[in-house]
Structure 1
Amino acid sequence: MVRGTQHSSFRKRLLLRVGIVVGLAFLLVEAVVWGGATIYLRMDAERFVRSEADEISSFVVRSGGELLIDAYPWNEPHHLFNEPRIDPLFVQIMNPEGQEIYFTPNIDLFNRGAYPRQMVTDPLISYSPFQELESRFVGSALLYFSSYSLRSREGQLLGFVQIARYLPDLQGAVRSVGLISAGILLVLLGGLLFLLHLQTGRLLAPLHRIARTADSLSAEKLDGRVPDLVGADRESVFLASAFNRLLDRLDGSFNDMRRFTADASHQLQTPLTVVKGHVDVALRKPRSADSYQRTLKVIGDEVDGLTRMSRSLLLLSRLDSSMVHMERRQVHLADLVTDALEEFSASSNCISVQMDEAAWVMANEELCLILVRNLVENALKYGESGPVVVEVTLESEYAVLTVQDEGVGIKESDLNMIRDLFYRSDTVRDLGLPGNGLGLALVDRITAWHGGTLSISSHPPGEVGFTRFSIRFPLAPTPLKTR
């Protein structure tokens, strides 16, 4: 198996890409967690002082629309002291003009003049958690401020309450939440990549088996196949099955090529040997004109056979090539068969013809003439001088050409092989009948080229019966001028 150092493995690339995508997704989650924690802590800090403001308002705002500041219990520790450990609240009551009219005792614990005596925030503007808390240093203490309106039940503005509190370590809390969530996400990412690493190994195992099988093949050894992929996914099983089918086709093609080479060599060797033998005999000593004529006739017959063979092979290659274009047109099948039978006028007394004049097909006339001549020639050759029946009939949407003889018959074991190139059955060889085994191969290829089907039925040799070749062509519309 070729392992290029310039190419990383699929597993590495998958882990890298999934790691990047999941890592970016986790970064987004981390950003959301970070931002959400920040907003939550800001809102919590705002809610804390807001609840204190609401409680103060419920005490000091009286039903008569006046402020009664002394109604609130200001002697609570978080209003008396300013030590951070008791979480003190620094409260100021302002009149509607924003002038301070009351403040909690713990404000005086700061250095004189250090604590702001005016409104720090605008109580008429609602706080947004997307903004920083309004904070400032009072001496060395960092406080955040919030202001709220004090209104009567009728909505009359009675004053304002401004509350300050030590600013919590929001950044530290957010940092802790972020670090904890980042650690959890990193552990999850590592676990996910580890599980993905294990799973990709299992998923890629069938592909490795397919690759090893492919790597073990060569032109001389195509018998290897991918074994059953037990437990593999459907796509891998489908790929292995398709790969095995491809190997079957390649193996068949290579076997056909080897068999064709051997058969072609044999078929060429026989006539060339005959020609060479007659030439050698003729050259040994002077002979009569009749002897030379007989020799030349034998040579001519063998050359004619070689010519027919080469033409048949050329035609087969054209039929097998998708690059060669051959014209098709509407052909009257009965007329075409009649034209083909003119070549066998000497044997017309043993050929009976039955034609359906309505049979039109889309065909190449030259190829169909070759097809009919090959079938009739075979029927006459192997029919042992018996009757030959040629029929053109209609069957549903097909035109059917049938050639039937009552000759030697075909063994059942030979029926599937007589279409192969150069194949000649033992029965034919024993009879010493001439031929090169290309006739039915041509008929089969021409039929397939026209989109038709060839069926063969025959009685076994030595029994009484017939051999029938039937070709079904798709019907073509009848030309208007003949209607």
Structure 2
Amino acid sequence: MSSIVSSITSFFDRLSISKKLAFWYGLSLFVMLSLFGYFLYESYHQSIHHNYDRHLRFEAEQLLPHINTSGDTLAIDLSGYSRNAALKSGVEYGTYVRLYNQNGQLIYRSPNFIDVDQPLETEIPNETEEYSFSSQWQDLPARTLFYPIHDSGGTFCGWLEVTGFEWTLHEELNRFRRYLLVLIAISVAFSILGGYWLSRRALTPVASINEAAKSITATDLDKRIPVNYQVKDELTDLAETFNMMLNRLQKGFEREKRFTSDAAHELMTPLSSMRSDAEIMLRKPRSKEEYQETIERMLKEVQKMSEMVHLLLQLSRVESVHRSKPEKVCISRITEAVADQHQESAQAKNISIQTQIDPDLQVRAHGAYIEEVINNLMENAVKYTPEGGQVKLQLQRSSGKAVIHLNDTGIGFEEETKKHLFERFYRANESEVQQQSGSGLGLPLVKAIIELYGGKIRAYSEGEGKGSTFVVELPLADGKEI
């Protein structure tokens, strides 16, 4: 049995959506029509029985005036009865009458009982109310009505049993049932065909979406699925969702392509410099001092490339770190520790570092990445603040967030620079920036980390030489998952 069910399930799973919809539509209509047909048939069946009972009751009422209830026993005289023909008809059409007293003894039976081979077996009702039932008699469907007889004083005297054949009614019922079955079968067949046609027509946009999606490859992500905005339905929403996904994919591919190109370009510069130094060294013998100077320059270029590769690896790890679960970390302690680490480099330039840190603030993150963020911002602040300047670091609780404010009196930046500040490999054109070593990956890394944990970062400056302010917001832990 289980193998049969498994085979049916497997076959059904292989059907197309159009066929499945047509099947379920046909099945639903079949169930509804079957229930409707059943109740209609039963209602018609009851109506026919009710009408035939009225016929039997009429026959009984025609006989009542010929029944004598005044004596000690019941008696019936049909000498003046005008419907004797009904009592003498053949087996299939006759009306059969029997009279019982109150004790259930047979008093009279109509003459047509003589021609009957099979006796009509009935049970006298226990109650004194009208009673009817169906049975098989003479291999035909029969209907019997027990009609109570009362005298003029209302005393129960006996029963008048009237029986007739309802085979014509049963034929009519059978014919009605056949009509219903044929009608249901035709309706279900047409509903399946119509449902299949409608579902195919309704799913035509899905086929279009499918064909359009197949034609889109990694080399032509600029293609989009056509959307009919005049029809706003679920399929339109699906097409728009696909297009939005393609937009994100295209931006991601373009960003990675640009990133790869920029990374290759940035790495090519120190490599070219090192190659030039090496070629110059090999042209002729050099003094020890010249060799040492050239090697030191090459080491600086190697250090620059190492820092760039380190930041590239950090960016790559940040973009995949969502696979590991963040933990509660105390951002207050991390901020204090990073500020202390930069005191020495700040003192070397006579820069004052002021801190104002609210204690015990916790965020859900990875401690090493939060330290990377604060360290990068502090390093830039000290690097680009001239001697005798000031750096102010604040960490405060605000509206369920840990907010970092980092102000410096450094070189600042123009509004145009602000637009590109967090782009990879971007470095401002200001001479002070170009004089300092850097890869243009620090702030993009900071932004990626902050956004990873549901935070935001903003940068402000009133212009070149007027300092800058960086604001970082991170949701406080408060027992909630990120």
**Fold in common (TM above 0.5):** yes
Residue 15 of structure 2 corresponds to residue 8 of structure 1: yes
1:93–1:162 CA contact under 8 A, matched in 2: yes
Q: Distance in 1 between matches of 2:384 and 2:131?
A: 104
Range that drifts further, 221-230 or 34-43:
34-43
Residue 408 of structure 2 corresponds to residue 404 of structure 1: yes
> C-alpha root-mean-square deviation of aligned residues, in Å?
3.8
Cα deviation code 1:447-480 (max 9, x no counterpart): 334543211123455xx64332222345579xxx
1:382–1:407 CA contact under 8 A, matched in 2: yes
1:52 Cα deviation (Å)? 2.3
Q: Distance in 2 between matches of 1:23 and 1:302?
A: 80
1:340–1:369 CA contact under 8 A, matched in 2: no
Partner of 1:445: 448
Q: Distance in 1 between matches of 2:348 and 2:15?
A: 74
1:343 Cα deviation (Å)? 4.8
Partner of 1:320: 319
Residue 116 of structure 2 corresponds to residue 90 of structure 1: no
2:141–2:166 CA contact under 8 A, matched in 1: yes
TM-score, normalization by structure 2: 0.80
The alpha-carbon distance between structure 1 residues 451 and 30, as it changes in their structure 2 partners (threshold 3 A), is closer
Q: Distance in 2 between matches of 1:240 and 1:178?
A: 49
Q: Distance in 2 between matches of 1:119 and 1:195?
A: 54
1:223 Cα deviation (Å)? 2.0
The alpha-carbon distance between structure 1 residues 474 and 66, as it changes in their structure 2 partners (threshold 3 A), is same
TM-score, normalization by structure 1: 0.80
1:50 Cα deviation (Å)? 3.1
1:424 Cα deviation (Å)? 2.7
Partner of 2:4: none
Can you give the 5+ residue segments of structure 1 that lack an aligned partner in the other structure? 1-5, 478-483
Partner of 1:355: 355
Can you give the 5+ residue segments of structure 2 that lack an aligned partner in the other structure? 1-12
Q: Distance in 2 between matches of 1:159 and 1:277?
A: 133
The AA in structure 1 aligned to 2:56 is: V
1:55-454 to structure 2, matched below 5 A, reads 55-57=62-64, 60=67, 62=69, 67=74, 69-70=76-77, 74-76=81-83, 78-79=85-86, 82=89, 88-95=94-101, 101-104=107-110, 107=111, 113-115=114-116, 120-124=121-125, 132-136=134-138, 145-152=144-151, 156-230=155-229, 232=231, 234-321=233-320, 322-324=322-324, 328-330=328-330, 331-332=332-333, 335-345=336-346, 347-349=348-350, 351-362=351-362, 366-383=368-385, 387-394=389-396, 396-397=398-399, 398-407=402-411, 409-412=413-416, 414-427=417-430, 431=434, 433-454=436-457
The AA in structure 2 aligned to 1:286 is: P
The AA in structure 2 aligned to 1:90 is: Y
Among 29, 38, 46, which residue is 1:22 paired with?
A: 29
Q: Distance in 2 between matches of 1:14 and 1:372?
A: 58
1:300 Cα deviation (Å)? 0.5
Task: Report the secondary structure of 1:133's partner residue.
Answer: strand
Q: Distance in 1 between matches of 2:445 and 2:354?
A: 24
2:362–2:476 CA contact under 8 A, matched in 1: yes
Q: Distance in 2 between matches of 1:217 and 1:258?
A: 18
The alignment covers a number of residue pairs equal to 458
The alpha-carbon distance between structure 1 residues 360 and 352, as it changes in their structure 2 partners (threshold 3 A), is farther
1:12 Cα deviation (Å)? 1.0
Task: Report the secondary structure of 2:203's partner residue.
Answer: helix
Among all aligned residue pairs of Structure 1 and Structure 2, give the percentage whose two residues are the same amino acid.
24
1:340–1:372 CA contact under 8 A, matched in 2: no
1:379–1:407 CA contact under 8 A, matched in 2: no
1:460-479 to structure 2, matched below 5 A, reads 460=463, 465-474=466-475
The AA in structure 1 aligned to 2:89 is: N
The alpha-carbon distance between structure 1 residues 323 and 147, as it changes in their structure 2 partners (threshold 3 A), is closer
Partner of 1:3: none
Residue 463 of structure 2 corresponds to residue 456 of structure 1: no
1:290 Cα deviation (Å)? 0.7
2:131–2:146 CA contact under 8 A, matched in 1: no
The alpha-carbon distance between structure 1 residues 9 and 291, as it changes in their structure 2 partners (threshold 3 A), is same
1:70 Cα deviation (Å)? 3.6
Partner of 1:53: 60
Cα deviation code 1:139-167 (max 9, x no counterpart): xx986554444343666553432323243
Range that drifts further, 113-122 or 270-279:
113-122
